[in-house]
Amino acid sequence: MMAMIEVEYSACVSETLHVMTNLGLLLVSVDKVGKPNAMTIGWGTIGSIWGKPTFCVLVRPSRYTFDCIEATNDFTVNVPPQELREAVGFCGRFSGREHDKFTEMKLTAAPSLHVKSPVIEQCPIQYECKVIHRNEVIPENLPAEILESAYPGGNYHTVYFGEILAVHADPEAKVGL
């Protein structure tokens, strides 16, 4: 078990974005009865809006994660180490409707301090987020190139603006950089 400390919201942003682009991050939510699910994301932004540290993630309405976030209004974002590469691939390919990804991939759900969604104990950086806003990707406002590459079947993302309530980090972690 890692010795996690709480850090400023912007302390690990470069590492987080690097891993997001090169491996993927694990977006964790829970369903109505509290069962956790992890979805791999390669897109997102971090910053501050309305004076609040913010993690923006995009989720298609067809996803199981969408139903979970709509039910609880919160999520966590977890930065996986290289050793979780297989789990990251699995959580990107399969749906939580058909798989218990935490059990099958031996991910350990640890309670969050501020939100219902747990964090993943094996991940050396963890963001706890509460949804404070949501809007939509608007097809009419996208270049044709993105419409073709990301939305051949529609299913336009909802953008969740998550207030970052806490960031936990393992000061020893190299997160595979």
The residues that touch a second copy, with contacts defined as CB under 8 A, are: 10-11, 13-14, 17-18, 20-21, 42-51, 54, 56, 58, 132-138, 141-143, 146, 149-150, 159
- CB of residue 56 to a second copy, shortest distance in Å: 6
Locus of tokens 């350990």: 108
Which C-beta is closer to a second copy: that of 118 or that of 162? Answer: 162
Q: What is the DSSP letter of 156?
A: P
Q: End-to-end CA distance of the chain, in Å?
A: 20
- CB of residue 3 to a second copy, shortest distance in Å: 22
- CB of residue 149 to a second copy, shortest distance in Å: 7
Which C-beta is closer to a second copy: that of 14 or that of 82? Answer: 14
Q: Give how far Cα 30 sits from Cα of 78, 82, 139, Å.
A: 14, 24, 29
DSSP string, 84-141: GHHHHHHHHHS-TTT--HHHHTTPPEE--SSSSSPEETT-SEEEEEEEEEEEE--GGG
Which C-beta is closer to a second copy: that of 7 or that of 110? Answer: 7
Task: Specify the pairing of strand 5-6 against strand 52-59.
Answer: unpaired
Which C-beta is closer to a second copy: that of 143 or that of 153? Answer: 143
- CB of residue 33 to a second copy, shortest distance in Å: 26
